[in-house]
């Protein structure tokens, strides 16, 4: 690519999309278009010099065609109605409607005639849930998405959209690349309101308990459920590498470092310098029992995998959430 080639980022007002716009800007790309359904004052990041397009609903076909005007060379589709497990379990229909975004974005990218690479952000929620019933889970390999039994709603939308990308590549020659994200977190991300992932939610709860002196924290489930969590910098690096590789199949993009929710609370307590009583809410949304990323293929293809240890990643994330918490308490507008 040339540095002045047009790059379109759908979902550019979101956590990962905003970080991706900054990533490309920092690498000298000068023609970036970030698009989001939210008004610009609710974007997680706005990058100087980027063509920001707010209030743009990409479920509508005409909007997808509009943002693909101007001869784009690459399109990154990170737009979706999604959040943490609390949001996903209670908003299945809203999550599935996002299938319109990828369908219309693929059509617009194909018809633009200039798109050299199209990246789609899928999710580990596309994996067969029957293989994720034990906290001591066997790490999920790419082929474990079939036979299909994805996370209801959100996971099925992701799995269907993966197939759309495959067939647009096979039938129309659009060079599509797909990564299955495993729980991305870090500064400038969602930390409150129901859409946040566990590292941010736990950080907020610990900060609040410390601030109020309650001495307690509520944990969804029994705390023994397991996940892998990927720091945002590893995610951006992986998106870049996968998009510009010759990997044709959907591939895991996540840390292989498995952790229980209880252990994650331990880490945040250590960073905060507190020890809290744990109240387990067993009827809360908690998703599958265990999920981890098998990184064999990404290592084979790229000689690389997400590798920032969780303690170091949380050490970078926790202070930012603490800053946001006290800024909001002081009446300032913050990222939520």
CA distance to 50, 196, 316, 327, per residue, from 321 (Å): 26, 12, 10, 10
CA 262 to chain centroid: 22
At 36 the three-state DSSP class reads coil
Active site residue 118: no
Sequence-separated (6 or more) residues with CB below 8 Å from residue 331 = none
Token reading at 105 = 């974005």
- Let me know the angle formed at the C-alpha of 198 by 327 and 240, rounded to the nearest 5 degrees: 90
Of the candidates 23, 118, 154, 185, the residue annotated as catalytic is 154
Residue 288 buriedness (CB in 10 A; 0-12 / 13-18 / 19+):
buried
Per-residue exposure over 79-95, b if at least 16 CB sit within 10 Å of its own CB, e if not: bbbbbbbbbbbebbebb
Side-chain half-sphere CA neighbours of 223 within 13 A: 14
d(CA 99, CA 105): 10
The catalytic residues are 154
């Amino acid at each position: 690519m040339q540095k002045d080639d047009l790059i379109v980022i759908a979902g550019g007002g979101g956590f990962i999309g905003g970080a991706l716009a900054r990533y490309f800007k920092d690498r000298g790309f000068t023609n970036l278009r970030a698009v989001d359904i939210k008004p610009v004052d609710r974007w997680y990041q706005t990058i100087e010099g980027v063509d920001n397009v707010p209030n743009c609903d990409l479920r509508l076909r005409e909007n997808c065609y509009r943002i693909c005007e101007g001869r784009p060379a690459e399109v990154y589709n990170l737009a979706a109605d999604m959040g943490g497990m609390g949001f996903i379990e209670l908003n299945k229909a809203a999550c599935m409607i996002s299938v319109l975004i990828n369908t219309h974005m693929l059509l617009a990218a194909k018809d633009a005639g200039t798109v050299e690479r199209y990246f789609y952000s899928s999710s580990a929620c596309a994996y067969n849930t029957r293989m994720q019933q034990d906290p001591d889970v066997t790490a999920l390999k790419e082929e474990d998405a079939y036979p299909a039994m994805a996370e209801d709603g959100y996971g099925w939308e992701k799995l269907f959209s993966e197939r759309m990308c495959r067939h647009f590549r096979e039938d129309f020659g659009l060079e599509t690349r797909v990564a299955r994200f495993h729980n991305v977190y870090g500064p400038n991300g969602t930390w409150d309101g129901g859409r946040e992932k566990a590292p941010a939610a736990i950080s907020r709860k610990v900060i609040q308990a410390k601030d109020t002196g309650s001495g307690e924290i509520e944990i969804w489930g029994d705390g023994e459920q397991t996940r892998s969590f990927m720091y945002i910098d590893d995610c951006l690096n992986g998106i870049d590498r996968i998009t510009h590789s010759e990997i044709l199949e959907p591939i895991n993009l996540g840390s292989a470092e498995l952790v229980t929710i209880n252990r994650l609370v331990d880490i945040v307590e250590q960073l905060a310098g507190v020890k809290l009583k744990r109240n387990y809410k067993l009827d809360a949304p908690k998703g599958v029992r265990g999920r981890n990323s098998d990184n064999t293929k990404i290592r084979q293809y790229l000689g690389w995998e997400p590798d920032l240890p969780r303690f170091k990643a949380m050490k970078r994330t926790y202070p930012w959430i603490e800053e946001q918490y006290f800024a909001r308490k002081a009446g300032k507008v913050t990222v939520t």
